C-alpha cells in the first residue's frame, strides 16, 4: 500500500495525490 503524497498547489493549497 502506497501512502498519499502531498503536493503543493500554486495558491498554497495542498492536495492529496496517490
**Cα 3 → chain centroid:** 11
Q: If you average pLDDT over every residue of the chain, what do you get?
A: 72
pLDDT at 3: 75
pLDDT at 17: 67
3-state DSSP assignment of residue 6: strand
pLDDT at 1: 58
6 within 8 A of 16, measured Cβ to Cβ: yes
The pTM of the full predicted model, rounded to 2 decimals, is: 0.06
Amino acid at each position: 500500500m502506497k501512502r498519499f503524497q502531498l503536493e503543493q498547489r500554486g495558491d498554497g493549497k495542498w492536495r492529496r495525490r496517490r
